[in-house]
Structure 1
């Protein structure tokens, strides 16, 4: 049996702390939300979950939200099941991770996220495509750089 580090080398390259900004737009391109982010991706040894992500969001008005996402690993797939979301991620090629997830509080909705990691491992571009009842209704654009 392989470990997450062996089976998902692109995901492993995301280990560290990332800073950047989220911008969410509707189908017409109107900005619905903007905020800063600090994302920590960890692969802890000897813990119940082989992947652990902490997302901290900060808005210009001082609002702050923080969420933890422990991830299980099975057959080259990272699995999430928290109070907030359920989802799975897999590698598409040597620089791309695809994530499907659903917020448990938003019925009939789901998100597909594309995460592109630069070859130098210091820049990420992420896009979320939000669907409700099978139709896209908004997108989130994320640009990040490695903080540490």
Structure 2
């Protein structure tokens, strides 16, 4: 039986901690929100989850959030089904992962995220395309660097 690390080598390169900035813009490019992030990507051993991600967000006004995203692995994809989201992620080439997900509290809304990791594995660029009733209404632009 193949492992997640063997069948999803690009995802395996994301293991570790990442710091970055999220910028949410409308379709005209107007900034709607901006905040700092710290994400931890893990591959737990002896767990029912093959992948586990923790997202921590901090805003300049002092607001903070933390969200946990456990995922199962099958068919060369990771699958999320938490209280907050449902979705899946798969690799498309040697640097890119596509993630489709929907927020359970936002009916009719879904996102496609493109995640690209640098060849040196120390930088990521991520873009979320937000759709409501199949029409784009905003984007999230994310730049991250691996924490050392």
**TM-score normalised by the shorter chain: which range applies?**
over 0.9
Q: Distance in 2 between matches of 1:107 and 1:44?
A: 31
Q: Distance in 1 between matches of 2:90 and 2:50?
A: 15
Q: Distance in 2 between matches of 1:78 and 1:20?
A: 23
What corresponds to 1:23 in structure 2? 23
What corresponds to 1:62 in structure 2? 62
Q: Root-mean-square deviation (CA), in Å?
A: 0.5
- By how many angstroms is 1:26 displaced? 0.2
Matched, 1:123 2:97: no
Q: Distance in 1 between matches of 2:3 and 2:69?
A: 19
- By how many angstroms is 1:119 displaced? 0.1
Q: Distance in 2 between matches of 1:138 and 1:126?
A: 14
Q: Tell me the TM-score normalised to structure 2 length.
A: 0.99
Q: Distance in 2 between matches of 1:50 and 1:112?
A: 22
Q: Distance in 2 between matches of 1:41 and 1:3?
A: 17
What corresponds to 1:87 in structure 2? 87
Q: What does the per-residue CA deviation read over 1:11-42, in whole Å, with 9 as the maximum and x for residues that have no partner?
A: 00000000000000001111000000000000
- By how many angstroms is 1:3 displaced? 1.1
Q: Distance in 1 between matches of 2:47 and 2:5?
A: 14
Structure 1: 4+ residue segments shifted above 4 A: none
Give unmatched runs, 5+ long, in structure 2.
none
Matched, 1:143 2:146: no
Q: Distance in 1 between matches of 2:63 and 2:111?
A: 24
Q: Distance in 2 between matches of 1:75 and 1:103?
A: 23
Matched, 1:74 2:74: yes
Q: Distance in 2 between matches of 1:126 and 1:8?
A: 18
Q: What does the per-residue CA deviation read over 1:30-87, in whole Å, with 9 as the maximum and x for residues that have no partner?
A: 1000000000000011111010000000000000000000010001010000000000
* Matched positions, count: 148
Q: Tell me the TM-score normalised to structure 1 length.
A: 0.99
